[in-house]
């Protein structure tokens, strides 16, 4: 039952596992798809479109696997086309495979634009209408919930509204419980979508649900979807993170919070919103792509504040520069440190790291001056929180190094044109009063240096056993200096539980990398030691 505080309920139809995988560079295994379906059900979506069983064996395997599961919220839908013009519906291979998928819901798409009827199908308009009617009726006769996707509907309606509406009418008369208007080319604007949705809603039979499916070719898929809801749509299709063909599909990670928080329309339930960022990151992880940090609501930068005046205002009242509470969508506020920082940035960042400091003391001023001096030299701390932590501790004279460097050497060797390039690093340290000399081979000089450093420390600090490099970025700061230019290295490290960033700057890329590596190791050691002390207390 919808929450009484909400106007009405909208069904969320997720097509990440089908339309989302049509995006360039996106692919999921059968096991990946099952895991994502679990998360989508946990999130609270109404429908999960699993794939097109007539197009590839992997999708059929997904439907076989998913039949073994019981979902709490979602219905699984199989997707496919209406029957072919050349054979009766009961003999159509695609329709047969849709039914064999044994899902409670079957979604079929059909042509609603005469351009496609004439130029793609190359059949008469009346035959296309017959195909739509036959396909919906046959699938309905097998006890399935039928959703009809009217492909290219908005373009078709603008070209010939009478014909486009006839397609919908026959789908409804032959068993479709929902008809979905598709902006397949992604070229519509919100005013067009609103106007056409109102006209369609006014002629649909009672009980038939109006749906919307938008592509993002004009960067308007989310806006168009919300405009459709305002104009009568009660079923919204989209994908997690906006994955989809060409420029993508409507992003459910933006649509769902907008419905719940802005429009007071129930979709997954307000209590489920705190899973939004988690699901977004989970899907990116299985797709093996870096998350888009600038995504609204769920992106890492969605609630990141950099300008000193902004941070000052947010410290007094977050509503000054945040349109929703970050935690409500599973995100968090971040304060960025840069040469634009003011006292408020430093204080909030210091608080994040639980460092004790007098708010009115000279230390804040000293940290700020050091920070701006280092940024002028090429350092950047926005993605290097751990290096900022080390910097603050050094300025406050409360940093105790975990080891002392006596020296390192890195050798890169290639023995012949076709031979692999070999990298070896040797590190000499003093750790807890003892000399340690270690060597390691790696995929490259920085990898070898990282392995040698951690190998030297492992005997003394086993806490770093699971620490590893996750990402390594190099930036030439002033290219006019050529090979003598300063280099900034940003390193992201992780231990399976958390990640942290560090930075190093030097004219020598190995030295810059070493600096970032040392910060990375010292930061996690500091955290581990602090956790041990708390446990003892």
Rounded percentage of the chain residues whose pLDDT exceeds 90: 69
Burial class (CB in 10 A: 0-12, 13-18, 19+), 144: buried
pTM for this model (two decimals)? 0.75
Q: Name the nearest CA neighbour of 511 among 430, 410, 423, 442.
A: 410
CB contact set of 297 (below 8 Å; sequence gap of 6+): 253, 254, 257, 276, 277, 324, 329, 331
Token duo for residue 88: 């009766």
Q: Are strands 235-238 and 209-214 parallel, antiparallel or unpaired?
A: parallel
Number of Cβ within a 10 Å radius of residue 131 = 24
Architecture (CATH level 2) of domain 403-460: 2-Layer Sandwich (3.30)
pLDDT tops 70 at residue 3: no
Do residues 446 and 454 lie in contact, with contact meaning Cβ atoms separated by under 8 Å? no
- The Cα 334–Cα 272 span in angstroms is 22
pLDDT tops 50 at residue 1: no
Task: DSSP letter for 391, please.
Answer: H
Between 130 and 336, where is the model more confident? Answer: 130
**DSSP alpha helix (H) spans, 358-444:** 362-376, 385-395
- The Cα 329–Cα 67 span in angstroms is 31
pLDDT at site 502? 94
**Any idea which of 344-353, 360-369, 399-408, 509-518 has the lowest mean pLDDT?**
344-353
Q: Is the dihedral of CA 371, 374, 376, 381 positive or negative?
A: negative
Do residues 287 and 243 lie in contact, with contact meaning Cβ atoms separated by under 8 Å? yes
**Any idea which of 172-176, 203-207, 369-373, 479-483 has the lowest mean pLDDT?**
479-483
Arithmetic mean of pLDDT, 21-35: 94
Q: What is the pLDDT of residues 84-108, one digit of tens each?
A: 999 999 999 999 999 999 999 999 9
Opening angle at CA 282, ends 281 and 288, nearest 5: 85
Q: Would you call 461 helix, strand, or coil by DSSP?
A: coil
Number of Cβ within a 10 Å radius of residue 18 = 24
Q: Name the nearest CA neighbour of 268 among 330, 214, 191, 184.
A: 330
Of 257-261, 395-399, 420-424, which one has max mean pLDDT?
257-261
CATH code reported for the domain at 11-287: 3.20.20.70
pLDDT at site 5? 67
Biggest CA–CA distance in the chain, Å, is 89
**Any idea which of 10-24, 192-206, 255-269, 312-326 has the lowest mean pLDDT?**
312-326
Q: What is the pLDDT of residues 64-87, one digit of tens each?
A: 999 999 999 999 999 999 999 999
pLDDT tops 60 at residue 178: yes
Q: Name the nearest CA neighbour of 43 among 265, 329, 317, 296.
A: 329
pLDDT tops 90 at residue 237: yes
pLDDT at site 482? 58
Arithmetic mean of pLDDT, 342-355: 68
Q: Which residue has the tokens 């396909």?
A: 135
In three state form, how does the secondary structure of 480-492 look? HHHHHCCEEEEEE
Domain ranges of the chain: 11-287, 304-395, 403-460
Q: How confident is the model at residue 342 (pLDDT cuts 50, 70, 90)?
A: low
pLDDT at site 217? 98
pLDDT tops 90 at residue 167: yes
pLDDT at site 2? 44
Q: Are strands 468-476 and 487-494 parallel, antiparallel or unpaired?
A: antiparallel
Q: What is the pLDDT of residues 43-57, one digit of tens each?
A: 999 999 999 997 788
pLDDT at site 7? 78
Do residues 279 and 74 lie in contact, with contact meaning Cβ atoms separated by under 8 Å? no
pLDDT tops 50 at residue 26: yes
Q: What is the pLDDT of residues 311-332, one digit of tens each?
A: 778 888 889 999 999 999 999 8
pLDDT at site 343? 63
Burial class (CB in 10 A: 0-12, 13-18, 19+), 113: buried
- The Cα 132–Cα 113 span in angstroms is 13
Do residues 246 and 215 lie in contact, with contact meaning Cβ atoms separated by under 8 Å? yes
Token duo for residue 414: 């290639």
Q: What is the DSSP string of 115-180?
A: HHIIIII-S-HHHHHHHHHHHHHHHHHTT-EEEEEEETHHHHHHH-HHHHHHHHHHHHHTTEEEEE
pLDDT tops 90 at residue 356: no
Arithmetic mean of pLDDT, 385-407: 89
Q: What is the pLDDT of residues 468-505, one digit of tens each?
A: 888 888 888 875 665 567 899 999 998 888 889 999 99
Arithmetic mean of pLDDT, 170-185: 98
Residue 387 CA neighbour count, 13 Å, CB half: 30
pLDDT tops 70 at residue 534: no
Q: Are strands 145-151 and 47-51 parallel, antiparallel or unpaired?
A: unpaired
pLDDT tops 90 at residue 398: no
CB contact set of 503 (below 8 Å; sequence gap of 6+): 379, 380, 381, 383, 384, 387, 488, 489, 490, 491, 515, 516, 519
pLDDT at site 395? 85
- Average pLDDT over the chain, rounded to whole? 90
Q: What is the pLDDT of residues 283-313, one digit of tens each?
A: 998 998 888 999 999 998 999 887 778 877 8
Backbone angles phi, psi at 427, to 5 degrees: -125, 135
pLDDT at site 374? 85
């Amino acid at each position: 039952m919808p929450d009484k505080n909400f106007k009405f309920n909208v069904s969320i139809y997720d097509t990440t596992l089908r339309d989302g995988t049509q995006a360039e560079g996106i692919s999921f295994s059968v096991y990946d798809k099952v895991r994502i379906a679990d998360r989508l059900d946990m999130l609270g979506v109404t429908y999960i479109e699993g794939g097109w069983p007539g197009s590839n064996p992997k999708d059929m395997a997904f439907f076989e696997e998913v039949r073994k599961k019981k979902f709490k919220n979602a219905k699984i839908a199989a997707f496919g086309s209406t029957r072919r013009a050349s054979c009766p519906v009961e003999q159509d291979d695609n329709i047969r495979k849709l039914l064999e998928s044994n899902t409670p819901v079957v979604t079929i798409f059909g042509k609603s634009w005469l351009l496609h009827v004439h130029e793609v199908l190359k059949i008469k308009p009346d035959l296309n209408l017959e195909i739509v009617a036959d396909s919906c009726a046959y699938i309905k006769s097998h006890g399935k919930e039928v959703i009809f996707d009217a492909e290219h509907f908005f373009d078709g309606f603008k070209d010939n509204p009478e014909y486009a509406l006839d397609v919908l009418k026959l789908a409804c008369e032959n068993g479709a419980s929902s008809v979905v208007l598709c902006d397949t080319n992604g070229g519509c604007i919100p005013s067009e979508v609103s106007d056409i949705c109102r006209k369609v809603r006014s002629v649909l039979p009672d009980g038939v649900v109006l749906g919307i499916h938008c592509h993002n070719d004009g960067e308007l898929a989310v806006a168009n979807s919300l405009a459709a809801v305002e104009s009568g749509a009660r079923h919204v299709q989209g994908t997690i993170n906006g994955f989809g063909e060409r420029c993508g599909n409507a992003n459910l990670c933006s649509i769902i919070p907008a419905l719940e928080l802005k429009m007071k329309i129930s979709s997954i339930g307000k209590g489920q919103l705190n899973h939004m960022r988690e699901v977004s990151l989970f899907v990116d992880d299985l797709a093996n792509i870096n998350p888009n940090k600038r995504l609204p609501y769920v992106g890492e930068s969605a609630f990141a504040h950099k300008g000193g005046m902004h941070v000052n205002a947010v410290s007094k009242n977050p509503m000054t520069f945040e349109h929703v509470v970050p935690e409500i969508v599973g995100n968090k506020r971040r304060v960025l440190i840069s040469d634009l920082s003011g006292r408020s940035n430093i204080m909030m960042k210091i608080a994040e790291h639980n460092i004790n400091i007098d708010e009115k003391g000279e230390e804040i001023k000293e940290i700020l001056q050091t920070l701006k001096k280092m940024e002028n030299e090429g350092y950047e701390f926005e993605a290097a929180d751990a290096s900022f932590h080390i910097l603050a501790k050094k300025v406050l004279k409360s940093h105790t190094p975990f080891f002392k460097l006596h020296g390192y050497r890195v050798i890169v060797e290639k023995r012949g044109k076709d031979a692999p390039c070999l990298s070896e690093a040797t590190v000499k340290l003093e750790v807890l009063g003892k000399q340690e000399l270690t060597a390691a081979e790696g995929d490259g000089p920085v990898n070898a240096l990282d392995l040698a450093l951690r190998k030297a420390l492992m005997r003394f600090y086993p806490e770093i056993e699971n620490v590893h490099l996750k990402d390594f970025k190099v930036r030439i700061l002033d290219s006019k200096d050529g090979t003598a230019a300063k280099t900034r290295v940003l390193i992201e490290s992780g231990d399976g539980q958390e990640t942290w960033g560090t930075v190093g700057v030097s004219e020598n890329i190995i030295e810059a990398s070493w600096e970032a590596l040392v910060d990375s190791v010292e930061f996690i050691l500091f955290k581990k030691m602090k956790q041990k002390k708390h446990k003892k207390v």
